[in-house]
Structure 1
Amino acid sequence: MSFPVRAITLDLDDTLWPFAPVGARIERVLDEWMRKHSPVTAARFPLLEMRALRERVWRENPQLWHNIAELRRLTLEIALRDSGGDIALAGAAYEAFYDERNRVEFYPDALEALARIAARVPVVALSNGNADLARIGIARHFAFQLHPREHGAAKPEASLFLAACERAGHAPGEVLHVGDHVDADVAGAARAGLRSCWIRRDDHPDGLWPYEDVQPDLVFDSMTGLADWLDAQAAA
């Protein structure tokens, strides 16, 4: 398939790097931090209990789903308060979490492909997560990053995709959204009027597309596939 692409909006977690290893390390680092700085909290909320608390806070605060940072801070504040710890420690605990959250291990194809793609078209980071491009060391490849917390809504809300297109200065049909998640990325972008690219890696549960009303414009098993497609479009 051939079509013009004036800009790309790009998911981050599970598109450029796997999030599961990051999530596991975050839990361990936060548990160790609490054991050192607030033992009563570590005793009341060991790793599994802290995970359960986080999941409960997520469920009970759907109005904050577009603001992962605020949900994380709220979880820490509740854990400290309910355990009899010092709630003033929440900021430092969050920094310990956030530092580890931005230690990522890229998929083998991701960095080289990202550089190739960014050399072709402007790339916009569009993630529901709270990764920091500068801390991770890839900010130079992006024209800008649009956070759901800044916009007030998260993917797959059409308004977030459309806001990214408007800021990039291109019509939705000229923008290609790239991501791994069937609903939040691919179907969400397609329904908002953008072109869509599904990065369907080997760890995808079944590799089957579940919808009939929308289809991805492109499907690749790596970012390299997309970079190669863009090169071919330029050559044509």
Structure 2
Amino acid sequence: MIRAVVFDIDDTLVDFSGATGRGLLAHLATTRAVRPTDAEQYLALWRHLEQIHFTAYLRGECTFTEQRRRRAREFCATAGFPLGPEESETDAWVARYLEHCDEAFTLFPDVLPALDTLRHAQVRLAAMSNSDRAYQHRKLTALGIRDRLEALVCCDDVDGVAKPDPRIFHAVCDRLGLAPAETVYVGDRLDSDARAAIAAGLTGVWLDRTGDGQADVPTITTLDQLVRLLPARTVRKGS
């Protein structure tokens, strides 16, 4: 019997890619004119460096803050407006970028209705992320859904263990006091979310918002489809 649904956060509940792209361009526009062709190149470079440096953080090679610094320094140097050697200058650049991102973050339109439907069905709700706990807590609070989630588990809660490692999936189950078999995990990445959850003993669901993919795992294109995947007797433990 399924008793809880755990959500990935970025690009599952929160339009992270859209917001960070808008945030980056808004930040750059405060100091220089950004032509459409420049914008495409800047975004492609930023996404590339985000993957490199965030992966280094997940491997334990640097802190969450340091991966941001490294990304900012390399981005600015490659784009032709290098930052100075002072760490304070890099931190100020990152802080201004994050301010623009904070203004751009939004929930996907299907999030609140899905959370309401699941809560009405007495399904317990939680979130799990490979990102930094303080950052995700602040983001979810600002968007008004942190108090709807019984638990939030991030990789810095479990000594840097990150998806697809089964230990982080087991950590969120332990936080809820449930077995993996009683828990669904929903995320936008096929391998590190859905397949990794299944390998850890949970029910993994791939949220394929583009609808372009094909997979041998339970797949939805919007969160409102999630309820139809759950067994009819999905209830809160003890109810």
TM-score between the two structures when normalised by the length of structure 1:
0.74
Distance 1:136 1:183, change over 3 A: same
Of 225-234 and 118-127, the range deviating more from structure 2:
225-234
Structure 1 stretches of 5 or more lacking a match? Answer: 37-45, 210-214
- How far did 1:182 drift? 0.7
- Aligned equivalents of 1:185, 1:66: Cα separation in 2: 23
Q: Is 1:170 the equivalent of 2:142?
A: no
Matched, 1:138 2:141: no
Q: Which amino acid aligns with 1:117?
A: L
Distance 2:44 2:191 in 1: 29
Q: CA deviation at 1:197?
A: 1.9
More deviation in 122-131 or 225-234? 225-234
Q: 1:66 to 1:15 in 2, by over 3 A?
A: farther
Provide the residue aligned with 1:8 in structure 2: 5
Alpha-carbon distance in structure 1 between the residues aligned to 2:113 and 2:83: 46
- Aligned CA-pair RMSD: 3.3
Structure 2: distance between partners of 1:23 and 1:141: 24
In 1, the alpha carbon distance for the partners of 2:186 and 2:63 equals: 21
**Mapping of residues 140-159 of structure 1, within 5 Å:** 140-151=147-158, 152-159=160-167
Report the more deviating stretch, 113-122 or 146-155: 113-122
Q: Is the 8 A contact 1:7 1:122 kept in 2?
A: yes
| Aligned-partner Cα distance in 2 for 1:65–1:128 | 15
Match of 2:114?
A: 113
Alignment-mate amino acid for residue 147 of structure 1:
C
The code of the aligned residue for 1:125 comes to A
In 2, Cα distance between equivalents of 1:65 and 1:125: 25
- Count of aligned residue pairs for this structure pair: 214
**1 CA distance for matches of 2:179 and 2:90?**
42
Three-state SS of the structure 2 residue aligned to 1:27 is helix
The CA deviation at 1:69 is: 4.6
Give the aligned partner of residue 214 of structure 2. 208
Name the structure 2 match of 1:233.
Answer: 233
Q: Secondary structure of the equivalent of 1:126? A: strand
CA contact (8 A) 1:162 1:192 kept: yes
The gaps in structure 2 that reach 5 residues or longer are 33-40
1:77–1:87 contact (8 Å) kept in structure 2: no
- Give the superposition deviation at 1:58: 4.6
Task: For residue 153 of structure 1, report the CA deviation from its aligned partner.
Answer: 1.8
The structure-2 alpha-carbon separation of the partners of 1:106 and 1:55, relative to structure 1 and needing over 3 Å to count, comes to closer
1:138-185 deviations in whole A, cap 9, x for unaligned?
112101211113321221111100111111111111111112211111
Q: Cα gap change, 1:28/1:153 in structure 2, threshold over 3 Å: closer, same or farther?
A: same
Q: 1:224 to 1:11 in 2, by over 3 A?
A: same
Aligned partner letter, 1:187: R
Give 2:225's aligned amino acid: G
Specify the code of the residue in structure 2 equivalent to 1:208.
Q
With over 3 angstroms needed to count, the CA separation of the structure-2 counterparts of 1:59 and 1:12, relative to structure 1, is closer
2:10 aligned counterpart, secondary structure: coil
| 1: CA distance, partners of 2:93 / 2:59 | 23
- 2:71 maps to which residue? 75
Contact 2:49 2:71 survives alignment (8 Å): yes
Deviations 1:172-216 (A, max 9, x none): 111111122111110000001111222232x14x3211xxxxx53
Structure 2 partner of 1:197: 205
State the secondary structure of the residue aligned to 1:16. Answer: coil
Structure 2 residue 69 is matched with structure 1 residue 63:
no
- Give me the whole-angstrom Cα distance separating, in 2, the residues matched to 1:166 and 1:227: 23
Q: 2:44 and 2:206 mapped to 1: Cα distance?
A: 35
Residue 160 of structure 2 is aligned to residue 160 of structure 1: no
Residue 30 (structure 1) aligned to one of 27, 30, 34:
27
Aligned residue for 1:122?
A: 124
